């Protein structure tokens, strides 16, 4: 507020700490500084140069206008320079089109396109037909940009990516065209070191990511128990554990979990390659890092003999995260001695029939 005191004009304003004080106001040309320089009661109004054009209109740049904002003169509304790319435009607004740009590989920027100076009859003659096409007898970078082809494309697998032609392609090592080099294995779609390479385990064990683990066949679990693979001290370990489903019989439509018959939560779940279903959720298949001895196959993260699979034996595996799932290894409710007795009786019966 401005007040007249005789021939003296006094401006009342707030100090930087918000306390009103009175000082003689000597009018000066208004500047963009957050002050009322011309003592007209308005801050940063009629600043010299505000509204003038700024920037430039060279190449891809567009001029803006000068605006005073919070005590600072800014150029707003314009388009500034960007990094130069091979597109037939002067992106950095230096007056030269496509200067000092780089193209992939051995390509050169020619008339706004990255061109591999290789003659061609079709795209298969070009170094990478995903990124280059044969145009007028020369290998030319695909236009529009490959990403434009994939705007409305949704690939069905997490291992697939949309290529420059809008097609979903498996880029993982599960694709036979992307094999892993020697000494590596495909785990979750990527190549990694095979930690079981060169590891020699005893005849009663198998290799799990470089660690030898006892086979369930090497254990003699008592009645009401089953073979269980658990993680102890960060390493897998095989042991016998009480089986809550030992005395439970479920119909064909149900499975036993924790002593109760339930609908299999995995019955309607479809997992990706490299995954298995556990309690209705797809998880990484540990079999990718497991190497079984001859006569055994890996199922649900452990090695089972062909006999164990044929007999429908049940095994419980506790993974590294502490989850538990049934997978097939010690016969529930049947001790090893009982199994031996059945086999002996069968042999005697066969001899008696002769």
**Any idea where the domains of the chain sit in the sequence?**
108-143, 205-337
pLDDT at 323 over 50: no
pLDDT of residue 320: 39
- Of residues 41 and 126, which shows the higher confidence score? 41
148-154 average pLDDT score: 78
**Cα–Cα distance, 308 to 327 (Å, whole number):** 11
Mean pLDDT (the chain, rounded): 78
Indicate the pLDDT class of residue 307, thresholds 50, 70 and 90: low
pLDDT of residue 205: 94
**Cα–Cα distance, 126 to 120 (Å, whole number):** 7
- Of residues 20 and 193, which shows the higher confidence score? 193
Indicate the pLDDT class of residue 100, thresholds 50, 70 and 90: confident
pLDDT of residue 118: 78
pLDDT at 244 over 50: yes
62-73 average pLDDT score: 88
pLDDT at 326 over 90: no
- Of residues 349 and 292, which shows the higher confidence score? 292
Indicate the pLDDT class of residue 302, thresholds 50, 70 and 90: confident
Q: First and final CA of the chain: distance in angstroms?
A: 124
Backbone region of residue 167 per phi and psi (left: phi > 0; alpha: psi in -120 to 50; beta: other values): beta
Indicate the pLDDT class of residue 147, thresholds 50, 70 and 90: low
- Which one-letter DSSP state was computed for residue 339? H
pLDDT at 148 over 50: yes
Q: pLDDT tens for residues 73-90?
A: 888 888 888 889 888 888
159-176 average pLDDT score: 86
pLDDT at 6 over 70: no
pLDDT at 273 over 80: yes
- Which one-letter DSSP state was computed for residue 124? G
**Does the model's pTM come out above 0.75?**
no
pLDDT at 351 over 70: no
The percent of residues above 70 in pLDDT, for the chain, comes to: 75
List the structure tokens of 71.
């005590």
- Of residues 190 and 106, which shows the higher confidence score? 190
pLDDT at 241 over 50: yes
Range picked from 104-113, 172-181, 296-305, 338-347 for highest mean pLDDT? 172-181
**Length of the chain counted residue by residue:** 354
pLDDT at 24 over 70: yes
Element (H, E) at 336: helix 336-352
Closest CA to 23 of 35, 34, 41, 8: 8
Indicate the pLDDT class of residue 128, thresholds 50, 70 and 90: low
The answer to which of 68-72, 170-174, 320-324 has the lowest mean pLDDT is 320-324
Q: pLDDT tens for residues 334-345?
A: 343 443 333 333
pLDDT at 16 over 90: no
pLDDT at 194 over 90: yes
pLDDT at 311 over 80: no
The answer to which of 120-134, 135-149, 271-285 has the lowest mean pLDDT is 135-149
pLDDT of residue 138: 77
The burial of 69, by beta-carbon neighbours within 10 Å (0-12 exposed, 13-18 middle, 19 or more buried), is given as exposed
């Amino acid at each position: 507020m401005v007040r007249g005191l005789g021939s003296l004009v006094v401006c009342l304003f707030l100090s930087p700490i918000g306390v009103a004080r009175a000082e003689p106001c000597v009018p000066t040309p208004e500047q963009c500084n957050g002050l009322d320089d011309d003592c007209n009661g308005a801050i940063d109004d009629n600043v010299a140069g505000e509204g003038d054009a700024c920037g430039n209109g060279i190449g891809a740049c567009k001029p803006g206008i000068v605006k005073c904002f919070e005590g600072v003169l800014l150029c707003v509304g314009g388009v500034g320079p960007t990094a130069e790319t091979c597109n037939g435009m002067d992106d950095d607004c230096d007056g030269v089109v496509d200067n000092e740009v780089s193209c992939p590989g051995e390509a050169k920027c020619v008339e706004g396109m990255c061109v591999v100076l290789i003659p061609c009859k079709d795209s298969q003659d070009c170094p990478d037909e995903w990124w280059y096409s044969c145009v007028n007898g020369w290998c030319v970078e695909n236009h529009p940009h490959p990403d434009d082809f994939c705007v409305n494309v949704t690939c069905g697998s997490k291992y697939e990516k949309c290529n420059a032609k809008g097609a979903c392609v498996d880029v993982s090592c599960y694709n036979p065209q992307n094999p892993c080099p020697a000494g590596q294995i495909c785990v979750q779609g990527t190549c990694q070191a095979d930690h079981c390479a060169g590891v020699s385990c005893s005849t009663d064990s198998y290799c799990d990511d470089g660690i030898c683990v006892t086979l369930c066949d090497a254990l003699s679990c008592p009645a009401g128990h089953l073979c269980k693979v658990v993680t102890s001290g960060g390493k897998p370990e095989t042991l016998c554990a009480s089986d809550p489903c030992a005395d439970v019989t479920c119909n064909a439509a149900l499975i036993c979990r924790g002593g109760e018959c339930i609908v299999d939560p995995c019955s309607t779940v479809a997992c990706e390659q490299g995954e298995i279903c556990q309690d209705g959720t797809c998880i990484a298949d540990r079999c990718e890092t497991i190497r079984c001895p001859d006569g055994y196959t890996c199922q649900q993260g452990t090695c089972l003999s062909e006999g164990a699979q044929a007999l429908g034996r049940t095994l419980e595996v506790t993974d590294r995260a502490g989850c538990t799932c049934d997978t097939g290894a010690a016969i529930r409710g049947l001790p090893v001695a009982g199994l031996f007795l059945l086999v002996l009786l069968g042999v005697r019966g066969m001899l008696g029939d002769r």
